[in-house]
Amino acid sequence: MSTNIEGKVVVITGASSGLGEDAARHLASQGAAVVLGARRIERLDAIVSEIRQNGGKAEALATDVTDVEQVQALVNKAVDAFGRVDVVINNAGLMSIAPLSELKVDEWERMIDINIKGVLYGIAAGLPIFQSQGTGHFINISSVAGLKVVGGGAVYSGTKFAVRAISEGLRTEVGGAIRTTTILPGLIDTELKQGTSHGASSQTVDEMYKMAISPTAITDAIAYAISQPADVDVNEIVVRPTVQE
Protein backbone atom coordinates (compact mmCIF):
# COMPACT_ATOMS: atom_id res chain seq x y z
CA MET A 1 0.00 0.00 0.00
CA SER A 2 1.34 3.46 -0.86
CA THR A 3 1.75 5.58 2.25
CA ASN A 4 2.00 8.84 0.29
CA ILE A 5 5.17 9.52 2.31
CA GLU A 6 7.71 8.28 -0.22
CA GLY A 7 9.47 11.12 -2.04
CA LYS A 8 8.21 13.85 0.28
CA VAL A 9 10.70 16.36 1.65
CA VAL A 10 10.12 16.80 5.39
CA VAL A 11 11.78 19.42 7.61
CA ILE A 12 11.72 18.55 11.35
CA THR A 13 12.77 20.90 14.15
CA GLY A 14 13.83 19.38 17.46
CA ALA A 15 14.96 16.22 15.67
CA SER A 16 17.91 15.39 17.95
CA SER A 17 15.82 13.40 20.46
CA GLY A 18 12.36 12.20 21.42
CA LEU A 19 9.45 12.70 19.06
CA GLY A 20 11.43 14.50 16.36
CA GLU A 21 14.11 11.81 16.21
CA ASP A 22 11.57 9.01 16.11
CA ALA A 23 9.55 10.70 13.37
CA ALA A 24 12.73 11.35 11.36
CA ARG A 25 13.79 7.72 11.42
CA HIS A 26 10.32 6.43 10.54
CA LEU A 27 9.57 8.90 7.75
CA ALA A 28 13.02 8.26 6.22
CA SER A 29 12.36 4.51 6.36
CA GLN A 30 9.15 5.18 4.40
CA GLY A 31 11.09 6.98 1.65
CA ALA A 32 10.83 10.62 2.74
CA ALA A 33 13.88 12.88 2.49
CA VAL A 34 14.26 14.37 5.97
CA VAL A 35 16.01 17.60 6.91
CA LEU A 36 16.76 17.74 10.61
CA GLY A 37 17.27 20.78 12.82
CA ALA A 38 18.23 21.13 16.51
CA ARG A 39 21.10 22.64 18.48
CA ARG A 40 22.95 19.37 19.22
CA ILE A 41 24.47 18.86 15.77
CA GLU A 42 26.51 15.82 16.82
CA ARG A 43 23.30 13.96 17.60
CA LEU A 44 21.74 15.02 14.31
CA ASP A 45 24.84 13.92 12.38
CA ALA A 46 24.66 10.48 13.99
CA ILE A 47 20.96 10.12 13.05
CA VAL A 48 21.68 11.27 9.48
CA SER A 49 24.52 8.72 9.15
CA GLU A 50 22.29 5.92 10.34
CA ILE A 51 19.46 6.88 7.98
CA ARG A 52 21.88 7.03 5.04
CA GLN A 53 23.42 3.66 5.96
CA ASN A 54 19.91 2.24 5.76
CA GLY A 55 19.49 3.68 2.26
CA GLY A 56 17.52 6.77 3.27
CA LYS A 57 17.92 10.44 2.45
CA ALA A 58 18.73 12.92 5.23
CA GLU A 59 20.46 16.22 5.89
CA ALA A 60 21.08 18.11 9.13
CA LEU A 61 21.76 21.68 10.13
CA ALA A 62 22.50 23.08 13.59
CA THR A 63 19.41 25.17 14.27
CA ASP A 64 18.23 27.21 17.22
CA VAL A 65 14.51 27.82 16.62
CA THR A 66 14.63 31.04 18.63
CA ASP A 67 16.62 32.57 15.75
CA VAL A 68 14.44 33.24 12.70
CA GLU A 69 17.43 33.26 10.35
CA GLN A 70 18.56 29.82 11.51
CA VAL A 71 15.08 28.39 10.94
CA GLN A 72 15.06 29.98 7.48
CA ALA A 73 18.47 28.42 6.78
CA LEU A 74 17.12 24.99 7.78
CA VAL A 75 14.20 25.25 5.36
CA ASN A 76 16.50 26.63 2.65
CA LYS A 77 18.75 23.62 3.16
CA ALA A 78 15.83 21.36 2.25
CA VAL A 79 15.25 23.31 -0.98
CA ASP A 80 18.97 23.27 -1.84
CA ALA A 81 19.34 19.55 -1.16
CA PHE A 82 16.04 18.22 -2.47
CA GLY A 83 14.48 20.97 -4.60
CA ARG A 84 11.29 21.52 -2.60
CA VAL A 85 9.65 21.23 0.83
CA ASP A 86 6.48 19.22 1.35
CA VAL A 87 6.14 19.17 5.14
CA VAL A 88 7.45 21.36 7.98
CA ILE A 89 7.10 19.72 11.40
CA ASN A 90 7.37 22.41 14.09
CA ASN A 91 8.29 20.09 16.92
CA ALA A 92 11.12 21.67 19.00
CA GLY A 93 9.94 22.38 22.52
CA LEU A 94 10.80 22.93 26.17
CA MET A 95 8.68 22.07 29.20
CA SER A 96 9.58 23.67 32.51
CA ILE A 97 6.98 23.10 35.22
CA ALA A 98 6.84 25.34 38.31
CA PRO A 99 4.22 27.40 40.13
CA LEU A 100 3.99 30.98 38.83
CA SER A 101 4.90 32.16 42.35
CA GLU A 102 8.40 30.74 41.83
CA LEU A 103 8.87 33.59 39.34
CA LYS A 104 11.03 31.59 36.96
CA VAL A 105 10.89 34.43 34.49
CA ASP A 106 13.87 33.21 32.47
CA GLU A 107 12.17 29.86 31.96
CA TRP A 108 8.89 31.56 30.96
CA GLU A 109 10.81 33.45 28.32
CA ARG A 110 12.64 30.35 27.06
CA MET A 111 9.35 28.46 26.70
CA ILE A 112 7.69 31.35 24.89
CA ASP A 113 10.71 31.76 22.60
CA ILE A 114 11.04 28.06 21.71
CA ASN A 115 7.44 26.82 21.86
CA ILE A 116 5.63 29.82 20.34
CA LYS A 117 8.13 31.92 18.42
CA GLY A 118 9.91 28.79 17.18
CA VAL A 119 6.65 27.60 15.60
CA LEU A 120 6.00 31.03 14.10
CA TYR A 121 9.51 31.11 12.64
CA GLY A 122 8.90 27.70 11.06
CA ILE A 123 5.74 29.10 9.50
CA ALA A 124 7.59 32.22 8.33
CA ALA A 125 10.23 30.08 6.67
CA GLY A 126 7.90 27.51 5.13
CA LEU A 127 4.86 29.53 4.07
CA PRO A 128 6.37 31.50 1.16
CA ILE A 129 7.81 28.26 -0.25
CA PHE A 130 4.49 26.43 0.14
CA GLN A 131 2.70 29.35 -1.53
CA SER A 132 5.08 29.39 -4.47
CA GLN A 133 4.85 25.59 -4.83
CA GLY A 134 1.05 25.75 -4.45
CA THR A 135 1.21 22.96 -1.88
CA GLY A 136 2.64 22.15 1.54
CA HIS A 137 1.83 20.81 4.99
CA PHE A 138 2.54 22.26 8.44
CA ILE A 139 2.48 19.84 11.37
CA ASN A 140 2.65 21.71 14.67
CA ILE A 141 3.24 19.87 17.93
CA SER A 142 1.00 21.17 20.72
CA SER A 143 0.14 18.98 23.74
CA VAL A 144 -2.67 17.71 25.93
CA ALA A 145 -1.41 20.67 27.98
CA GLY A 146 -2.91 22.75 25.16
CA LEU A 147 -6.33 21.46 26.21
CA LYS A 148 -6.11 21.78 29.98
CA VAL A 149 -3.84 23.32 32.60
CA VAL A 150 -2.37 21.29 35.45
CA GLY A 151 -0.52 22.57 38.52
CA GLY A 152 2.72 24.36 37.68
CA GLY A 153 1.94 24.20 33.98
CA ALA A 154 0.53 27.67 33.40
CA VAL A 155 3.23 28.93 31.06
CA TYR A 156 3.91 25.62 29.29
CA SER A 157 0.17 25.20 28.75
CA GLY A 158 -0.04 28.81 27.62
CA THR A 159 2.51 28.10 24.90
CA LYS A 160 0.70 24.95 23.81
CA PHE A 161 -2.72 26.68 23.74
CA ALA A 162 -0.97 29.27 21.57
CA VAL A 163 0.27 26.60 19.16
CA ARG A 164 -3.32 25.45 18.66
CA ALA A 165 -4.53 29.00 18.14
CA ILE A 166 -1.80 29.78 15.63
CA SER A 167 -2.42 26.51 13.79
CA GLU A 168 -6.15 27.14 13.55
CA GLY A 169 -5.57 30.70 12.36
CA LEU A 170 -3.10 29.45 9.78
CA ARG A 171 -5.52 26.80 8.55
CA THR A 172 -8.35 29.26 8.04
CA GLU A 173 -6.07 31.75 6.29
CA VAL A 174 -4.13 29.47 3.96
CA GLY A 175 -6.25 26.31 3.76
CA GLY A 176 -6.86 24.83 0.37
CA ALA A 177 -3.64 23.54 -1.07
CA ILE A 178 -1.72 24.07 2.18
CA ARG A 179 -2.57 21.67 5.01
CA THR A 180 -2.24 22.31 8.74
CA THR A 181 -2.22 19.55 11.34
CA THR A 182 -1.90 20.02 15.09
CA ILE A 183 -0.82 17.00 17.13
CA LEU A 184 -1.59 16.98 20.87
CA PRO A 185 0.52 14.32 22.60
CA GLY A 186 -0.11 13.19 26.15
CA LEU A 187 2.71 11.83 28.29
CA ILE A 188 5.40 10.39 26.03
CA ASP A 189 8.68 8.89 27.19
CA THR A 190 11.32 11.38 25.96
CA GLU A 191 13.87 13.80 27.43
CA LEU A 192 11.20 16.52 27.78
CA LYS A 193 10.76 15.98 31.53
CA GLN A 194 14.39 17.00 32.08
CA GLY A 195 13.46 20.62 31.30
CA THR A 196 11.90 21.07 34.76
CA SER A 197 14.34 22.57 37.26
CA HIS A 198 11.97 23.24 40.18
CA GLY A 199 12.57 20.46 42.73
CA ALA A 200 9.03 19.68 43.94
CA SER A 201 7.58 20.01 40.43
CA SER A 202 10.32 17.78 39.08
CA GLN A 203 9.24 15.01 41.45
CA THR A 204 5.62 15.40 40.34
CA VAL A 205 6.68 15.28 36.69
CA ASP A 206 8.77 12.12 37.28
CA GLU A 207 5.76 10.51 38.95
CA MET A 208 3.43 11.49 36.08
CA TYR A 209 5.84 10.20 33.46
CA LYS A 210 5.66 6.70 34.92
CA MET A 211 2.54 6.33 32.73
CA ALA A 212 4.29 7.64 29.59
CA ILE A 213 4.01 5.75 26.32
CA SER A 214 6.43 5.37 23.41
CA PRO A 215 7.17 8.14 20.87
CA THR A 216 6.02 5.76 18.14
CA ALA A 217 2.42 6.64 19.10
CA ILE A 218 3.06 10.20 17.92
CA THR A 219 5.11 9.16 14.91
CA ASP A 220 2.15 7.06 13.77
CA ALA A 221 -0.14 10.11 14.08
CA ILE A 222 2.30 12.25 12.06
CA ALA A 223 2.60 9.56 9.39
CA TYR A 224 -1.20 9.24 9.24
CA ALA A 225 -1.63 12.98 8.64
CA ILE A 226 1.05 13.05 5.93
CA SER A 227 -0.33 9.93 4.26
CA GLN A 228 -3.74 11.40 3.48
CA PRO A 229 -4.66 12.35 -0.08
CA ALA A 230 -3.75 15.96 -0.93
CA ASP A 231 -7.36 17.15 -0.53
CA VAL A 232 -7.68 15.72 3.00
CA ASP A 233 -6.48 17.89 5.90
CA VAL A 234 -6.29 16.16 9.28
CA ASN A 235 -6.62 19.14 11.62
CA GLU A 236 -6.07 17.84 15.16
CA ILE A 237 -5.03 14.52 16.65
CA VAL A 238 -4.94 13.87 20.41
CA VAL A 239 -2.90 10.82 21.49
CA ARG A 240 -2.40 9.98 25.17
CA PRO A 241 -1.81 6.96 27.38
CA THR A 242 -5.05 5.15 28.15
CA VAL A 243 -4.40 5.76 31.87
CA GLN A 244 -3.81 9.54 31.53
CA GLU A 245 -6.69 11.77 32.67
Tell me the one-letter amino acid at 65. Answer: V
State which of residues 188, 222, 226, 234 lies at the interface with ligand NDP (CB under 6 A).
188
Shortest reach from residue 30's CB to ligand NDP, in Å: 19
* β-strand partners of 138: 88, 180
What is the SS3 assignment for 43-100?
A: HHHHHHHHHHHCCCEEEEEECCCCCHHHHHHHHHHHHHHHCCCCEEEECCCCCCCCCH
Q: Is-catalytic flag, 224?
A: no
Range in contact with ligand NDP (rule: CB under 6 A) among 174-182, 186-194, 199-207, 231-239: 186-194
By the rule CB under 6 A, 148 interacts with ligand NDP: no
Range in contact with ligand NDP (rule: CB under 6 A) among 14-22, 99-107, 171-179, 223-231: 14-22
Shortest reach from residue 121's CB to ligand NDP, in Å: 10
Instruction: Please tell me the distance from the alpha carbon of residue 150 to that of residue 38, in angstroms, as a whole number.
Output: 28
Shortest reach from residue 23's CB to ligand NDP, in Å: 9
CB 18 within 8 A of CB 42: no
Shortest reach from residue 16's CB to ligand NDP, in Å: 4
- Residue with Cβ nearer ligand NDP (93 or 126): 93
Instruction: Please tell me the distance from the alpha carbon of residue 7 to that of residue 82, in angstroms, as a whole number.
Output: 10
State which of residues 91, 96, 167, 182 lies at the interface with ligand NDP (CB under 6 A).
91
By the rule CB under 6 A, 162 interacts with ligand NDP: no
**How many Å separate Cα 74 from the centre of its chain?**
14
Which of 203, 206, 130 lies closest to 173 in space, CA to CA? 130
By the rule CB under 6 A, 152 interacts with ligand NDP: no
State which of residues 187, 217, 221, 223 lies at the interface with ligand NDP (CB under 6 A).
187
Instruction: Please tell me the distance from the alpha carbon of residue 51 to that of residue 70, in angstroms, as a whole number.
Output: 23
Cβ atoms < 10 Å from Cβ of 1: 4
By the rule CB under 6 A, 24 interacts with ligand NDP: no
The burial of 99, by beta-carbon neighbours within 10 Å (0-12 exposed, 13-18 middle, 19 or more buried), is given as middle
State which of residues 34, 114, 205, 225 lies at the interface with ligand NDP (CB under 6 A).
114
- Residue with Cβ nearer ligand NDP (9 or 23): 23
CB 88 within 8 A of CB 138: yes
By the rule CB under 6 A, 95 interacts with ligand NDP: yes
By the rule CB under 6 A, 153 interacts with ligand NDP: no
Residues in contact with ligand NDP by the rule CB under 6 A: 13-20, 38-40, 63-66, 91-95, 114, 141, 143, 185, 187-188, 190-192
Catalytic site positions: 156
